[in-house]
């Protein structure tokens, strides 16, 4: 039996705040003057300490092949732990290709932490086993009904029924890990050989963290990353790179996506891509490891209205995974209003750009009159 190591929640964005380093401010009890003094002493003490975020240098992101890549291991970890930004290019979401490959080829120590992918794989295998047993049971039941069943088969049926009950009751995860002999270099698959050094038997890291356009612009906006192409890119450069054009229209796909993204991020939600569920974003309260996402966000604009078929399709998928479907109707400014702001030269223009748009949120749900009668 393997216990899964559960991470604790650190922070919603990659900014280290003072209370993280110097401890929380004490509570104030209005009737207790000592608590007031305690509070102010602590407050002043922190006030004269250095600001923690100042000593943290910006994380570096490389713009290459039209992708935003994070190659530094520590930077990757910080982006993941502080707000769950980005996606491992060879993993489902968190970067774990390296450790799972090591485990598959038995290179390092057998570590006992299971990746999400492995758990899903295991669950699916269990499910297949269960279904196999169930079809066997159904076949025997049929025989019984036709009166063609023999004594031994009757006994088998009883046993299968017992195991099926066991399967249904058991929802704990039990994975046995077998310690195996390391695989010899010559027995490895050719694609594995390519990324393993024969002498030291070490695995080469080929996975990196990829940031989406909206994530990159958000992180650049709050000034926690530096983006490099040949030189360092400014916020404006990043904006036009993300838009894909030097003359974006008001209903530019990137700008609209970013409006919704920034809106929910600024309310403290962990926003991740919703392509898995056919919508634009999914919202987590803290992050993927802690709970299921609660809302699915679908962006709709005047220029791009949805049909009933599309709506019902998305709603069915989102409904089946117990999330709410929230429609984001985004009000768009006129091209003149947008260009006026983009022509400004100061750094605050993106702030004014965000203010030109407006988000209207509508919850879309199937109504089943049968169920709401009382």
Partner 1 sequence: MNDDDFKLDIEDEEVYNLKDFEPDGTDYQQNKLSNSLDLIYSLISEEIKTHEKNCIVGIYLKTQETIILKPKGNFFRDFGYSKTLNGNIYVFLNKLESLYLLQRGNLIIYLGNEKFNHYLDGYINNFNVNELYSLNLQHFYSFLCSSDLKKYQVFAYLKRLGYLIKEYDGLKNHPPPIFQIGVQDKSMYQDIFTKGFRDKHYFGYKEIFERLRVIPSAQNFESLQKNYESDFEIHFNVWKPRNNFSKKNLPVPDFMICMVDEFPKINDVYSLLNKVIKPEKKSDTKPKSNKVQTRNNLKKDKEKTERDKERERERERDFKLKNNGRNVILAKVDNGVNFISLSEMDFESVSLY
Any catalytic annotation for residue 292? yes
**CA 328 to CA 330: how far, in whole Å?**
6
13 near partner 1, rule: CB under 8 A = yes
Q: Which long-range contacts (CB under 8 A, 24 or more apart) does 110-116 make?
A: 110/177, 110/179, 112/2, 112/177, 113/4, 113/5, 114/2, 114/4, 114/175, 115/91, 116/92
Residues 6 or more apart from 238 whose CB is under 8 A from it?
216, 217, 220, 227
Q: Which helix (H) or strand (E) holds 1?
A: none
Strands 209-211 and 67-70, bridge-based pairing = antiparallel
264 is catalytic: no
Report the alpha-carbon distance of residue 10 to residue 5 in Å, rounded: 15
Number of CB atoms found within 10 A of residue 42's CB: 16
| From 264, 284, 295, 357, the catalytic residue | 284
Q: What is the DSSP-derived secondary structure letter of residue 268? A: T
Q: Which of residues 27-86 bind partner 1 (CB under 8 A)?
A: 46-47, 49, 51, 53-54
* Residues 226-245: x where in contact with partner 1 by CB under 8 A, - otherwise, as a string: ---------x----------
CB of residue 23 vs partner 1: minimum separation in angstroms?
11
Considering only 262, 314, 318, 338, the residue that binds partner 1 (CB under 8 A) is 262
User: In three state form, how does the secondary structure of 175-199 look?
Assistant: CCCCCCCCCCHHHCCHHHHHCECCC
For residue 228, the minimal CB distance to partner 1 (Å) is: 18
Q: Is residue 373 close enough to count as binding partner 1 by CB under 8 A?
A: yes
| 359 near partner 1 (CB under 8 A) | yes
Judged by CB under 8 A, the residue of 10, 25, 119, 149 near partner 1 is 25
Residue of the chain from 221, 227, 243, 318 that contacts partner 1 (CB under 8 A): 221
Element (H, E) at 41: helix 33-47
Is 284 marked active-site? yes
Q: Does 168 bind partner 1 (CB under 8 A)?
A: no
Q: Which of 82, 261, 323, 357 is catalytic?
A: 323
Strand partners, 303: none
Q: How far apart are CA 10 and CA 84, in angstroms?
A: 10
The reply on whether position 340 binds partner 1 by CB under 8 A is no
By CB under 8 A, name the one of 10, 67, 90, 354 that touches partner 1.
354
Name which of 105 and 332 has its Cβ closer to partner 1. Answer: 332
Catalytic residues: 284, 292, 323
State the residues that interact with partner 1 by CB under 8 A.
11-13, 15, 17-19, 25, 46-47, 49, 51, 53-54, 142, 145-146, 221-224, 235, 259, 262-269, 285, 294, 300, 302, 305-308, 311-312, 315, 324, 326, 329, 331, 347-348, 350-351, 354-355, 357-370, 372-374
């Amino acid at each position: 039996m393997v216990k899964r190591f559960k991470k604790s929640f650190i922070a919603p964005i990659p900014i280290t705040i003072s209370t993280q380093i110097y401890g929380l401010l004490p509570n104030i009890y209005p009737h207790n003057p000592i608590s007031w003094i305690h509070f102010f002493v602590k407050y002043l003490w922190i006030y004269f300490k250095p600001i923690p975020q100042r000593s943290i240098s910006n994380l570096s992101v490389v713009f290459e092949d039209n992708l935003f890549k994070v190659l530094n291991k520590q930077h990757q970890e910080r982006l993941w732990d502080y707000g769950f930004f980005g996606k491992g290019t060879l993993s489902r979401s968190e970067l774990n290709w390296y450790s799972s490959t090591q485990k598959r080829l038995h290179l390092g120590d057998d570590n006992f932490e299971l990746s999400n992918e492995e758990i899903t794989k295991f669950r699916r295998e269990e499910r297949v086993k269960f279904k196999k047993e169930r079809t066997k049971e159904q076949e025997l039941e049929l025989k019984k009904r036709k009166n063609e069943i023999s004594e031994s088969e009757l006994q088998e049926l009883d046993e299968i029924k017992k195991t099926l009950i066991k399967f249904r009751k058991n929802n704990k995860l039990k994975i046995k890990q077998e310690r195996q002999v390391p695989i010899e270099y010559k027995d490895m698959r050719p694609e594995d050989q390519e990324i393993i050094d024969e002498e030291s038997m070490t695995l080469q890291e080929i996975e990196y963290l990829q940031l989406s356009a909206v994530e990159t612009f958000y992180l650049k906006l709050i000034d926690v990353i530096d983006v490099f192409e040949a030189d360092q890119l400014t916020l404006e450069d990043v904006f036009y790179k993300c838009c894909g054009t030097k003359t974006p229209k008001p209903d530019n796909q990137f700008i609209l996506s970013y409006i919704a993204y920034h809106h929910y991020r600024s309310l403290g939600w962990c926003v991740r891509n919703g392509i898995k569920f056919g919508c634009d974003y999914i919202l987590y309260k803290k992050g993927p490891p802690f709970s299921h996402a609660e809302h699915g966000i679908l962006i709709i604009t005047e220029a791009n209205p949805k049909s009933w078929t599309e709506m019902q399709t998305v709603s069915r998928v989102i409904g089946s995974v117990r999330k709410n479907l929230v429609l984001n109707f985004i009000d768009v400014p006129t091209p003149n209003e947008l260009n006026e702001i983009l022509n400004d030269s100061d750094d605050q223009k993106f702030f004014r750009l965000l203010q030109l748009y407006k988000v209207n949120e509508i919850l879309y749900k199937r109504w089943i009159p049968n169920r709401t009668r009382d």
